[in-house]
Protein backbone atom coordinates (compact mmCIF):
# COMPACT_ATOMS: atom_id res chain seq x y z
CA UNK A 1 0.00 0.00 0.00
CA UNK A 2 1.43 3.36 -0.98
CA UNK A 3 1.48 5.98 1.67
CA UNK A 4 -0.23 9.19 0.51
CA UNK A 5 1.70 12.42 0.43
CA UNK A 6 -0.06 14.25 3.23
CA UNK A 7 0.77 17.59 4.78
CA UNK A 8 3.08 16.17 7.45
CA UNK A 9 4.89 13.48 5.46
CA UNK A 10 5.52 15.54 2.35
CA UNK A 11 6.93 18.57 4.08
CA UNK A 12 9.28 16.42 6.15
CA UNK A 13 10.83 15.55 2.78
CA UNK A 14 11.44 19.25 2.22
CA UNK A 15 13.29 19.73 5.51
CA UNK A 16 16.64 20.61 3.86
CA UNK A 17 16.25 24.27 2.95
CA UNK A 18 18.56 25.85 0.41
CA UNK A 19 19.36 29.36 -0.68
CA UNK A 20 19.80 29.58 -4.45
CA UNK A 21 21.51 32.43 -6.30
CA UNK A 22 21.21 32.20 -10.07
CA UNK A 23 24.12 33.42 -12.17
CA UNK A 24 24.56 34.33 -15.80
CA UNK A 25 26.25 30.97 -16.37
CA UNK A 26 29.59 29.86 -17.72
CA UNK A 27 28.36 28.79 -21.13
CA UNK A 28 26.19 30.36 -23.79
CA UNK A 29 22.94 28.42 -23.76
CA UNK A 30 19.95 28.58 -26.07
CA UNK A 31 17.53 29.56 -23.31
CA UNK A 32 18.46 30.42 -19.74
CA UNK A 33 15.12 29.86 -18.03
CA UNK A 34 16.69 30.45 -14.61
CA UNK A 35 17.32 34.08 -15.61
CA UNK A 36 14.36 34.72 -17.88
CA UNK A 37 11.49 33.27 -15.83
CA UNK A 38 10.18 33.76 -12.29
CA UNK A 39 11.25 30.76 -10.20
CA UNK A 40 9.38 29.21 -7.25
CA UNK A 41 11.86 26.54 -6.25
CA UNK A 42 11.15 23.53 -4.03
CA UNK A 43 13.66 20.86 -2.98
CA UNK A 44 12.80 17.45 -1.53
CA UNK A 45 15.29 14.90 -0.24
CA UNK A 46 13.82 11.48 -0.93
CA UNK A 47 15.15 8.63 1.17
CA UNK A 48 15.51 5.19 -0.43
CA UNK A 49 12.31 4.07 1.25
CA UNK A 50 10.47 6.85 -0.59
CA UNK A 51 11.17 5.10 -3.91
CA UNK A 52 7.61 3.76 -3.78
CA UNK A 53 6.00 7.22 -3.59
CA UNK A 54 3.16 7.84 -6.04
CA UNK A 55 4.51 10.34 -8.64
CA UNK A 56 1.08 11.88 -9.35
CA UNK A 57 0.45 12.59 -5.68
CA UNK A 58 3.96 13.93 -5.13
CA UNK A 59 3.87 16.30 -8.12
CA UNK A 60 0.35 17.41 -7.21
CA UNK A 61 1.66 18.44 -3.78
CA UNK A 62 4.51 20.36 -5.44
CA UNK A 63 1.98 22.16 -7.68
CA UNK A 64 -0.20 22.98 -4.68
CA UNK A 65 2.74 24.60 -2.88
CA UNK A 66 2.73 26.32 -5.44
CA UNK A 67 6.16 25.68 -7.01
CA UNK A 68 7.13 25.80 -10.67
CA UNK A 69 10.61 24.26 -10.26
CA UNK A 70 11.12 20.95 -8.47
CA UNK A 71 14.49 19.60 -7.32
CA UNK A 72 14.22 15.84 -6.75
CA UNK A 73 16.64 12.96 -6.21
CA UNK A 74 17.99 11.43 -9.39
CA UNK A 75 21.23 9.52 -8.87
CA UNK A 76 24.67 9.21 -7.35
CA UNK A 77 24.58 7.32 -4.06
CA UNK A 78 21.46 5.60 -5.38
CA UNK A 79 19.52 6.11 -8.59
CA UNK A 80 15.77 6.64 -8.67
CA UNK A 81 15.66 5.16 -12.16
CA UNK A 82 16.85 1.86 -13.70
CA UNK A 83 20.46 2.79 -14.44
CA UNK A 84 22.64 0.53 -16.60
CA UNK A 85 26.01 2.09 -15.73
CA UNK A 86 28.31 -0.27 -13.80
CA UNK A 87 28.93 0.71 -10.16
CA UNK A 88 25.82 2.90 -10.13
CA UNK A 89 22.98 1.32 -8.19
CA UNK A 90 19.23 1.82 -8.29
CA UNK A 91 17.49 2.26 -4.93
CA UNK A 92 16.88 -1.08 -3.23
CA UNK A 93 13.28 0.04 -2.68
CA UNK A 94 12.61 0.93 -6.33
CA UNK A 95 9.99 -1.59 -7.53
CA UNK A 96 11.14 -3.78 -10.45
CA UNK A 97 10.67 -1.98 -13.75
CA UNK A 98 9.86 1.30 -12.00
CA UNK A 99 11.35 4.57 -13.22
CA UNK A 100 10.49 6.98 -10.43
CA UNK A 101 12.46 9.90 -11.78
CA UNK A 102 11.04 9.45 -15.28
CA UNK A 103 7.50 9.24 -13.90
CA UNK A 104 7.99 12.40 -11.82
CA UNK A 105 9.43 14.21 -14.84
CA UNK A 106 6.44 13.23 -16.98
CA UNK A 107 3.92 14.31 -14.33
CA UNK A 108 5.76 17.59 -13.76
CA UNK A 109 5.89 18.36 -17.49
CA UNK A 110 2.13 17.89 -17.63
CA UNK A 111 1.73 20.62 -15.02
CA UNK A 112 4.31 22.99 -16.49
CA UNK A 113 6.79 22.38 -13.66
CA UNK A 114 10.51 22.35 -14.39
CA UNK A 115 12.56 19.49 -12.90
CA UNK A 116 16.13 19.64 -11.58
CA UNK A 117 17.75 16.26 -10.88
CA UNK A 118 19.74 15.89 -7.66
CA UNK A 119 23.03 13.96 -7.68
CA UNK A 120 25.41 13.17 -4.84
CA UNK A 121 28.72 11.81 -6.11
CA UNK A 122 30.57 12.28 -2.82
CA UNK A 123 29.82 8.77 -1.54
CA UNK A 124 28.95 5.35 -2.85
CA UNK A 125 28.73 1.73 -1.81
CA UNK A 126 31.26 -0.86 -0.66
CA UNK A 127 31.32 -2.96 -3.88
CA UNK A 128 32.63 0.09 -5.75
CA UNK A 129 35.40 0.56 -3.18
CA UNK A 130 36.28 -3.12 -3.33
CA UNK A 131 36.67 -2.91 -7.12
CA UNK A 132 38.35 0.52 -7.30
CA UNK A 133 39.87 1.63 -3.97
CA UNK A 134 41.95 4.19 -5.90
CA UNK A 135 38.77 6.21 -6.52
CA UNK A 136 38.26 6.93 -2.83
CA UNK A 137 39.29 9.29 -0.04
CA UNK A 138 42.17 7.90 2.03
CA UNK A 139 42.71 9.06 5.61
CA UNK A 140 46.18 9.74 7.03
CA UNK A 141 46.08 6.26 8.63
CA UNK A 142 45.50 4.71 5.20
CA UNK A 143 41.86 3.82 5.88
CA UNK A 144 38.89 4.89 3.72
CA UNK A 145 36.40 7.43 5.02
CA UNK A 146 33.15 5.59 5.81
CA UNK A 147 29.93 7.15 7.10
CA UNK A 148 26.76 5.13 7.67
CA UNK A 149 28.22 2.38 5.50
CA UNK A 150 28.97 4.68 2.55
CA UNK A 151 32.51 5.27 1.25
CA UNK A 152 33.66 8.81 0.43
CA UNK A 153 34.97 9.34 -3.08
CA UNK A 154 37.80 11.79 -3.83
CA UNK A 155 37.34 14.79 -6.11
CA UNK A 156 40.77 14.07 -7.64
CA UNK A 157 40.16 10.38 -8.28
CA UNK A 158 38.70 8.79 -11.38
CA UNK A 159 35.28 8.21 -9.83
CA UNK A 160 34.60 11.94 -10.11
CA UNK A 161 36.80 12.61 -13.12
CA UNK A 162 35.84 9.67 -15.35
CA UNK A 163 33.20 7.31 -14.02
CA UNK A 164 30.83 10.06 -12.90
CA UNK A 165 30.81 11.38 -16.46
CA UNK A 166 29.42 8.05 -17.68
CA UNK A 167 26.72 8.19 -14.98
CA UNK A 168 25.77 11.74 -15.94
CA UNK A 169 25.86 11.07 -19.67
CA UNK A 170 23.35 8.24 -19.26
CA UNK A 171 21.04 10.45 -17.20
CA UNK A 172 21.28 13.41 -19.57
CA UNK A 173 20.70 11.24 -22.63
CA UNK A 174 17.65 9.59 -21.08
CA UNK A 175 15.93 12.56 -19.45
CA UNK A 176 15.21 16.06 -20.71
CA UNK A 177 15.94 17.69 -17.37
CA UNK A 178 15.92 21.42 -16.76
CA UNK A 179 19.03 21.20 -14.63
CA UNK A 180 21.27 19.09 -12.41
CA UNK A 181 22.18 19.89 -8.82
CA UNK A 182 25.17 18.29 -7.08
CA UNK A 183 25.16 17.88 -3.31
CA UNK A 184 28.41 17.83 -1.28
CA UNK A 185 30.60 18.80 -4.23
CA UNK A 186 34.24 17.97 -3.47
CA UNK A 187 36.12 16.63 -0.46
CA UNK A 188 34.59 17.89 2.80
CA UNK A 189 36.77 18.89 5.76
CA UNK A 190 34.52 16.98 8.19
CA UNK A 191 31.89 14.25 8.09
CA UNK A 192 28.20 14.74 8.86
CA UNK A 193 28.87 14.30 12.58
CA UNK A 194 31.44 17.09 12.52
CA UNK A 195 34.46 14.80 12.84
CA UNK A 196 37.51 16.11 10.92
CA UNK A 197 38.50 14.01 7.91
CA UNK A 198 41.92 15.52 7.38
CA UNK A 199 43.68 15.86 3.99
CA UNK A 200 43.09 13.05 1.49
CA UNK A 201 46.16 10.86 1.07
CA UNK A 202 44.99 8.87 -1.98
CA UNK A 203 47.41 8.21 -4.83
CA UNK A 204 45.67 10.72 -7.12
CA UNK A 205 45.96 13.51 -4.55
CA UNK A 206 49.56 12.61 -3.78
CA UNK A 207 50.57 12.63 -7.45
CA UNK A 208 48.79 15.89 -8.24
CA UNK A 209 50.01 17.61 -5.07
CA UNK A 210 53.61 16.55 -5.61
CA UNK A 211 53.51 17.75 -9.22
CA UNK A 212 52.24 21.13 -8.06
CA UNK A 213 54.24 21.72 -4.87
CA UNK A 214 57.12 19.24 -5.04
CA UNK A 215 56.21 17.57 -1.77
CA UNK A 216 53.75 15.09 -0.28
CA UNK A 217 50.24 15.99 0.88
CA UNK A 218 50.52 17.39 4.42
CA UNK A 219 49.12 15.56 7.45
CA UNK A 220 47.05 18.64 8.37
CA UNK A 221 45.28 21.01 5.98
CA UNK A 222 47.08 24.28 5.27
CA UNK A 223 46.57 27.12 2.80
CA UNK A 224 48.30 25.24 -0.02
CA UNK A 225 46.16 22.15 0.50
CA UNK A 226 42.94 24.17 0.62
CA UNK A 227 43.90 25.92 -2.63
CA UNK A 228 44.76 22.57 -4.17
CA UNK A 229 41.38 21.08 -3.24
CA UNK A 230 39.48 24.14 -4.46
CA UNK A 231 41.24 23.84 -7.82
CA UNK A 232 40.29 20.15 -7.97
CA UNK A 233 36.62 21.04 -7.51
CA UNK A 234 36.85 23.69 -10.22
CA UNK A 235 38.44 21.25 -12.67
CA UNK A 236 35.67 18.69 -12.16
CA UNK A 237 33.05 21.44 -12.37
CA UNK A 238 34.44 22.48 -15.76
CA UNK A 239 34.06 18.90 -17.08
CA UNK A 240 30.51 18.59 -15.73
CA UNK A 241 29.54 21.97 -17.14
CA UNK A 242 30.82 21.02 -20.58
CA UNK A 243 28.87 17.75 -20.49
CA UNK A 244 25.60 19.31 -19.32
CA UNK A 245 25.73 22.25 -21.71
CA UNK A 246 26.64 20.00 -24.64
CA UNK A 247 24.00 17.34 -24.04
CA UNK A 248 21.24 19.57 -22.63
CA UNK A 249 21.96 23.16 -23.73
CA UNK A 250 18.91 24.53 -21.90
CA UNK A 251 19.73 22.88 -18.56
CA UNK A 252 21.29 24.64 -15.56
CA UNK A 253 24.32 23.35 -13.63
CA UNK A 254 23.83 24.04 -9.91
CA UNK A 255 26.11 23.34 -6.96
CA UNK A 256 27.96 25.11 -4.15
CA UNK A 257 30.75 26.79 -6.13
CA UNK A 258 30.58 29.74 -8.52
CA UNK A 259 33.05 28.59 -11.17
CA UNK A 260 31.51 27.05 -14.31
CA UNK A 261 28.03 26.90 -12.73
CA UNK A 262 24.72 28.58 -13.59
CA UNK A 263 23.59 28.96 -9.99
CA UNK A 264 25.17 28.81 -6.55
CA UNK A 265 23.50 26.77 -3.81
CA UNK A 266 23.90 27.41 -0.08
CA UNK A 267 22.21 25.60 2.78
CA UNK A 268 20.34 27.85 5.20
CA UNK A 269 22.04 26.11 8.16
CA UNK A 270 19.09 26.55 10.50
CA UNK A 271 19.61 23.27 12.37
CA UNK A 272 19.42 23.34 16.16
CA UNK A 273 22.90 23.99 17.50
CA UNK A 274 24.07 26.13 14.60
CA UNK A 275 25.80 29.33 15.58
CA UNK A 276 24.04 32.63 14.95
CA UNK A 277 23.33 34.32 12.62
CA UNK A 278 21.15 31.69 10.95
CA UNK A 279 21.36 33.00 7.41
CA UNK A 280 24.49 33.53 5.26
Check residue 12 and give its pLDDT. Answer: 39
As for how many domains the chain has, the answer is 1
Flag whether 280 is in a domain: no
Domain containing residue 188: CATH number: 3.20.20.80
- Quote the domain boundaries for residue 223: 7-267
pLDDT in tens, 111-146: 999 999 999 999 999 999 999 999 999 999 999 999
pLDDT in tens, 5-20: 343 434 334 434 456 6
Q: Band of the pLDDT at 266, cuts 50, 70, 90?
A: confident
Flag whether 199 is in a domain: yes
Flag whether 277 is in a domain: no
Flag whether 75 is in a domain: yes
Flag whether 145 is in a domain: yes
Q: Is 134 exposed, middle or buried (0-12, 13-18, 19+ CB in 10 A)?
A: middle
Flag whether 150 is in a domain: yes
Flag whether 107 is in a domain: yes
Q: Band of the pLDDT at 270, cuts 50, 70, 90?
A: confident
Distance CA 191, CA 139 (A): 12
pLDDT in tens, 64-112: 999 999 999 999 999 999 999 999 999 999 999 999 999 999 999 999 9
Amino acid sequence: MRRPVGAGWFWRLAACACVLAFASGSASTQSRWWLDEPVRFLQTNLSETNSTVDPKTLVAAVADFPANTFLVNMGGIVAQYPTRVPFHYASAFLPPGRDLFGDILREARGRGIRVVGRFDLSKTQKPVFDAHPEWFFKRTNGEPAIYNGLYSTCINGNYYRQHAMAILAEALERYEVDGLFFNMFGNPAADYSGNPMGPCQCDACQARYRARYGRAVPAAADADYRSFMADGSREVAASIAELIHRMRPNAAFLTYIKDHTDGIMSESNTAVGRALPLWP
